Amino acid sequence: MAECHPVAYQWVTEARLRGAKVIHIDPRFTRTSATADKHVPIRAGSDVVFLGALINHILANELYFKEYVVAFTNAATMVSEDYQDTEDLDGLFSGYDDKLNNYDPSSWAYATEGEGPNASPGTIGGPAAGHEHGHSGSERSAGDEHGSGGPALEHAKVKRDESLQDPHTVFQILKRHYARYTPEMVSEVCGISVDDFHYVARAVTENSGRDRTSAFVYAVGWTQHTLGAQFIRTAAIIQLLLGNMGRPGGGIMALRGHASIQGSTDIPTLYNILPGYLAMPMVGNHDTWDDYVSAIGNKQQKGFWANADAYAVSLLKAWWGDAATKENDWAFDYLPRLSGAHGTYQTTMAMKDGQVEGYFLLGQNPAVGSAHAKMQRLALAELKWLVVRDLQMIESATFWKDAPEIATGELSTEKIGTEVFFLPPASHVEKAGTFTQTQRLLQWRHKAVNPPGDCQSELEFFFELGKRIRARLADSDDPRDRPLLDLTWDYPLDDEGEISSEAVLQEINGRHLSGDKAGELAGMYTELKADGSTSSGCWIYSGVYAGGVNRSANRKPGREQGPTAQEWGWAWPDNRRILYNRASADPEGKPWSERKKYVWWDEEQQQWTGIDTPDFVKTKAPSYRPEPGTGGPDGLAGDDPFVMMADGKGWLFAPKGMLDGPLPTHYEPQESPVQNPLYGQQSNPARRVFPRKDNLWSPSGNAPGAEVYPFVFTTYRLTEHHTAGGMSRWLPYLSELQPEFFCEVSPELAAERGLANGGWATIVSARSAVEARVLVTERMTPLVIGGRTIHQVGLPYHWGVGRDAVVSGDAANDLLGIALDPNVQIQESKAGSCDIVPGRRPQGEALLRLVEEYQSRAGVTVETSNQLRTTTAGASGSSKEADA
Amino acid sequence: MGFWQHQLAGPTDPSHDAAWEEPEPRKGFFTDTSICIGCKACEVACKEWNAIPEDGLSLTGNSYDNTGSLGASTWRHVAFIEQTADRVEEARASGRRLVDLGMPALRPPDAPQGSPSAASGTAPAGLEGVVPTAVADDGSLDAMAAAARTAHATGTLPDFRWLMASDVCKHCTHAGCLDVCPTGALFRTEHGTVVVQPDVCNGCGYCVAACPFGVIERREDERDDKRGGGVVSNVGVAQKCTLCYDRLGHDQTPACAQACPTTSIKFGTLAEMLDTARDRVEVLHDNGFTEARLYGANADDGVGGTGSVFLLLDEPEVYGLPPDPRVPTADLPDMFRKAGIAAVAMFGMAVAAFAGRRR
């Protein structure tokens, strides 16, 4: 955090002033470690073992927050008897489909009240409210939809055993699942000593409970694994068991990689979701409006997602205005349908295969910053046209003349047909708008100066592009042009003649279109209706402009207001600073302790009150119990704090929504020198792999040839640079602080391989080889894994080969391949296998021969490390017998 | 005699001595290296504000320090020092010796004497009293802080630590650079700081040799500056930190202190800075971090104390700072005394020689 988010680290510094203990768990010793109470080095990619052992420790020693766990989580909920665990199936869950290499999750469902065990899963509601097959879920990267709530359930009639004793309760399943995740296993898999494990376990458990809370803070590198989403899930389970969710000082905080990355998932630049985490409709699953609406939120489930139809109709009304009517299903058919996964990596591969004609790059430098940067560059060379909008002439704009592939002969400038349009943008101080940070806080930026010359903001650019396209199509009577022509594209202009960004924020906030409030801005998302009488461009942002006031521009200093600083910016939803904060009070609505008092039930006023906006129906008493079978917000009991979850509970076990298992399980990275010591299943069986000649992998574990790439490499950022360098390598003041690409190695590895501090090293993976200066440092620690020493090589990824920047160098991301998490299609960029040798890499074609020589020595083929199932247990369709 | 003596060494008020009729309270930095995160924001902010050219694009191989040292085009420099357990133990022991010599702050009387007071973890915590806290007095926080203190006062030495420290011009009470400047380019400001006037400097370089810290330097590099459109200003003249003289005049904080995210660099009147520094070192000593010590806070040192005070976690040499800086003028009385004695002796011998001849 000190390394990549130094400004936010001031709050950690202040927390330490107030007695907080900071523990840093990271493969390398960073600036954060330097100022933490303890640094615990871990082998990259082994996190679930470490966190799973914490869960086991908490359960085995009864250190969980019992009242919280019983009342607020699904610990007491019973799971279908069909469910089989990875402990039964050697690393697979029940439902693995060998044909599609994904799970059919129906056996993970909750046991159903009143009917036979899990009688008819998926019959109520549409496809997603039932049990969508993991394959199609992964194709549409369904995990992204859970950015503002859990997945839909068909209803919430579940069986519970609050004594937690029934073997089918989540609690007992959890206990069995993590029983083999012991401190000794941590030592063997993660390289963390038993003493260090106990230090962390003691610190976290002693600092959680009624009077205390602990927080997990991570940077997005934690997600960049083939089971990245499950890493975060493991931390979520710990936080639920310790009662650290919905309470001040608790939670899990994701530190994002850029300004407003949170904003760009809320109002997505992703292929698979619509604003506010509404699913993008998919061919076959959501062909009709009714299919779609019942899929995104079922009226019979509990909680606020049951009103998803109101959010979707309001969105379509915001986009297509009067052209969206009840008769045409609110212009639902104007929305494109997904035909499969079209994430950034699938697009890159399609581009390389000649299936993509044009590409827009907006402040992104994939030729340096994306995994398998070499494939990225080769793909750009296959485009017909490319638009780059960036502050500098980045490598992705100049690849056609200075990509390293020109030196190796794989590309030649004369043969590249890509027409590159470089358009200068406005920087963040040259345009007005909001940034949404990790706490969901929208903060308005005022424009400080006008952009110079032809520079344009993104908003202005796309507004203008839309105007020109619409003008060209104005006379068209082709129905396929209707979605463009019917768009509400009538934004007012400001004094400078630019589109008013306030007007856009108002559209996002939403309006009443008819009724007594017609024309008024919506006050919050509960005002949105499914009858076409409201519009809102992003339902979770509804309320940011309530009463005609731009609340994101609120700027009352913290010292002039209470601890939640509610008048600084605006947090979605409804200016809540902590989500699910009903959990900060006990089931009766009293604060868990005076010290951690946050939101509570006021008996006299008969309403919820506190220092934050209560995340609960304001007048719903703790004692309220709905009629069985009630859906929507009314279905939530007075002690169901997780109001966006379909059963109102925090999910220790995920009966739906995760495509690679209801519980996080340790799998080795796609490429790992270590054999999975827990299961025959080596890696995540549901991960997305792409067996291609240009995406080869080294052998893993005990497979022959793994010794050719014996070391683990991990990529990361430094304080001095920003991601792929577009905003730092062109600035002399930042470039001089970290002028060259370097690798960090331990003194032990340096001695083993003859690497000299300040000298050169060549790092070789199954994809490519790069050269870097060497920093020999005690900050890198060799770890003893399963009795042998595993060395890790640290690689900051800021440099790229080009001629325009102040500093350049090989790109660490050239070493990476493309293997993805199935839930959200994130690449595995934090753990790979490599070799390292002293000296500079060969130049020209000789570089390709070096990489090939390694591949052939290791016996690498297209199939290497790409088999998804590596255990023979639980063959498809007959999972029951596998018990025997 | 006292006034004149303190013109050369020892405690004094330099602005007053420089004949400012109504000097401002003397300003200074307190750099608390125990909470520095090495982000180098100070280096960048300094260069941005003062329009200093880029200073070389080579990797040093010395941890994350690619700046190297202070110089004409580097007015803030963050040092990075990697240390293993034995060196940490030595630092703690040497600090304990200073404490035993009567340096400020000792552990509470009830703390067991002689027991290993080593703190755990890689970095000192317990910042109370230094960073202003946003929360009003809440008894439980005191309890927590006390608990944190107890926790830190036990345990073992860290296996490894990474020290970071932002160095800057010391703005000495007795500034060697200023004393030797023949042109008056260097002057003492109303804030008690020392500033170069580049348009007056003739580039003689006397100041470079006179600075006991190696801070001031002549800008010799005429390399194209990518930022300044190919023009590097002030080539050939002496350059160093001005303590943002142009900002102080408008009641603004110097750029480095303004940019520091963790308040490791603090700015204020020197008296406040010294108080804060002494409080902080006391807290750290109470927590068992006996390696903490102040640098530049002693008005009786060889430069009469500095306007930039540092809290260090090891001996000054580790950070590249001279352990016993001494302004050349401090030796002037002694030199003149010896020269005087020599002159008297020679005169005496001459007299004696003549007297002898007469006999």
Distance from CA of A522 to the nearest CA of B (A): 35
Q: What rounded mean pLDDT belongs to chain A?
A: 92
Q: A183-190 and A194-206 helices cross at what angle (nearest 10)? A: 120
Distance CA B24, CA B299 (A): 19
pLDDT reported for residue A646: 85
Mean pLDDT of A343-367: 95
Mean pLDDT of A581-596: 97
Distance from CA of B326 to the nearest CA of A (A): 31
pLDDT reported for residue B125: 61
For residue B85, the chain A residue with the least C-alpha distance is A778
- Answer yes or no: do B262 and A37 touch at CB < 8 A: no
Q: Is B134 on the interface with A (CB under 8 A)?
A: yes
State what percent of residues in chain A have pLDDT above 70. 96
Distance from CA of A389 to the nearest CA of B (A): 22
pLDDT per residue over A631-650, tens digit each?
888 888 999 999 988 889 99
Distance CA B64, CA A776 (A): 11
Residue A146, in any domain of the structure? yes
- In contact, A677 and A185? CB cutoff 8 Å: yes
Structure tokens at B249: 């005049």
**Structural domain ending residue among the three candidates A234, A255, A276:** A255
**Structural domain ending residue among the three candidates A255, A270, A305:** A255
Residues B119 and B131 in one domain: yes
- Answer yes or no: do A732 and B127 touch at CB < 8 A: no
pLDDT reported for residue A193: 95
- Answer yes or no: do A13 and B60 touch at CB < 8 A: no
**Structural domain ending residue among the three candidates A233, A255, A277:** A255
Q: Is A740 on the interface with B (CB under 8 A)?
A: yes
State what percent of residues in chain B have pLDDT above 70. 79
Distance from CA of B311 to the nearest CA of A (A): 15
- In contact, B303 and B329? CB cutoff 8 Å: no
> Residue A749 belongs to a domain with what CATH number?
2.40.40.20
pLDDT reported for residue A94: 94
Distance from CA of A794 to the nearest CA of B (A): 14
Residues B215 and B268 in one domain: yes
Distance CA A367, CA A724 (A): 9
- Answer yes or no: do A35 and B140 touch at CB < 8 A: no
Q: Which of A67-76, A127-136, A368-377, A528-537 has the lowest mean pLDDT?
A: A127-136
- Answer yes or no: do B120 and A37 touch at CB < 8 A: yes
Domain that holds residue B335: 328-359
Residues B245 and B333 in one domain: no
**Secondary structure (H, E, C), B164-187:** EEEEECCCCCCCHHHHHCCCCCEE
Cα→Cα distances B237→A152, B48, B178, Å: 71, 20, 14
The closest CB to that of A734, out of B44, B84, B144, belongs to: B44
Closest CA to A95 of A81, A106, A110, A86: A106
CA A769, A771, A776, A782: dihedral to nearest 10 degrees?
-10
- Answer yes or no: do B44 and A17 touch at CB < 8 A: no
pLDDT reported for residue A176: 97
Cα→Cα distances A804→A395, A439, A755, A775, A807, Å: 8, 37, 30, 26, 8
- Answer yes or no: do B122 and A34 touch at CB < 8 A: yes
Residues B96 and B39 in one domain: yes
Distance CA A814, CA A376 (A): 9
Residues B228 and B341 in one domain: no
Residues B65 and B85 in one domain: yes
Residue A41, in any domain of the structure? yes
Mean pLDDT of A130-135: 74
- Answer yes or no: do A10 and B262 touch at CB < 8 A: yes
Distance from CA of A592 to the nearest CA of B (A): 16
pLDDT per residue over A227-280, tens digit each?
999 999 999 999 999 999 999 999 999 998 888 899 999 999 889 999 999 999
Instruction: Say if residue B136's pLDDT is above 80.
Output: no
Q: Which helix (H) or strand (E) holds A610?
A: strand A607-610
Q: Is A35 on the interface with B (CB under 8 A)?
A: yes
- Answer yes or no: do A17 and B128 touch at CB < 8 A: yes
Q: What's the DSSP call for residue A333?
A: G
- In contact, B169 and B303? CB cutoff 8 Å: no
Looking at beta carbons, which residues of chain A come within 8 Å of B87? none
pTM of the model: 0.91
**pLDDT tier for residue B2 given thresholds of 50, 70 and 90:** low
Instruction: Say if residue A70's pLDDT is above 90.
Output: yes
Residues B76 and B7 in one domain: yes
How many domains does chain B fold into?
2
Instruction: Say if residue B198's pLDDT is above 80.
Output: yes
Q: Is B332 on the interface with A (CB under 8 A)?
A: no
Mean pLDDT of A841-868: 96
Tell me the ipTM for this assembly.
0.90
Distance from CA of B142 to the nearest CA of A (A): 8
* Chain centre to alpha carbon of residue A151: 16
- Answer yes or no: do A36 and B123 touch at CB < 8 A: yes
For residue B128, the chain A residue with the least C-alpha distance is A17
Q: What rounded mean pLDDT belongs to chain B?
A: 83
pLDDT reported for residue A78: 95
Closest CA to A263 of A443, A526, A461: A443
Q: Is B202 on the interface with A (CB under 8 A)?
A: no
- Answer yes or no: do B67 and A736 touch at CB < 8 A: yes
Residue A116, in any domain of the structure? yes
Residues B35 and B88 in one domain: yes
Looking at beta carbons, which residues of chain A come within 8 Å of B164? 31, 34
Residue A156, in any domain of the structure? yes
- Answer yes or no: do B120 and A38 touch at CB < 8 A: yes
Interfacial A residues in 39-68 facing B (CB < 8 Å): 39
pLDDT per residue over A136-155, tens digit each?
888 877 877 777 777 777 66
Distance from CA of A241 to the nearest CA of B (A): 23
Domain that holds residue A819: 688-858
Looking at beta carbons, which residues of chain A come within 8 Å of B134? 14, 558-559, 563
Q: Which of A80-84, A324-328, A357-361, B353-357 has the lowest mean pLDDT?
A: B353-357
- Answer yes or no: do A742 and B59 touch at CB < 8 A: yes
The closest CB to that of A719, out of B40, B123, B151, belongs to: B40
Residues B23 and B172 in one domain: yes
- Answer yes or no: do A733 and B47 touch at CB < 8 A: yes
DSSP string, B63-85: TT--S-S-BTTBSEEEEEEEEEH
> Residue B116 belongs to a domain with what CATH number?
3.30.70.20
Strand pairing class (B217-218; A216-219) = unpaired
Q: Is B131 on the interface with A (CB under 8 A)?
A: yes
Distance from CA of B48 to the nearest CA of A (A): 8
pLDDT per residue over A729-770, tens digit each?
999 999 999 999 999 999 999 999 999 999 999 999 999 999
How many domains does chain A fold into?
2
DSSP string, A711-774: EEEEEE--TTS-TTSTTTTT-HHHHTTS-S-EEEE-HHHHHHHT--TTSEEEEE-SS-EEEEEE
Q: Is B164 on the interface with A (CB under 8 A)?
A: yes
State what percent of residues in chain A have pLDDT above 90. 84
Structure tokens at B286: 């109470």
Longest dimension (CA), chain B: 93
Q: Is A773 on the interface with B (CB under 8 A)?
A: yes
Distance from CA of B57 to the nearest CA of A (A): 5
Residues B337 and B289 in one domain: no
Q: Is B133 on the interface with A (CB under 8 A)?
A: yes
Mean pLDDT of A662-668: 97
- Answer yes or no: do B37 and A6 touch at CB < 8 A: yes
pLDDT reported for residue B223: 59
**pLDDT tier for residue B149 given thresholds of 50, 70 and 90:** very low
Instruction: Say if residue A873's pLDDT is above 80.
Output: no
- Answer yes or no: do A779 and B130 touch at CB < 8 A: no
Q: Is B141 on the interface with A (CB under 8 A)?
A: yes
Of A145 and A407, the one with more pLDDT: A407
The closest CB to that of A37, out of B55, B67, B121, belongs to: B121
Distance CA A677, CA A683 (A): 11
Residue A220, in any domain of the structure? yes
3-state DSSP call for residue A428?
A: helix
Residue A89, in any domain of the structure? yes
* Chain centre to alpha carbon of residue A125: 27
> Residue A116 belongs to a domain with what CATH number?
3.40.228.10
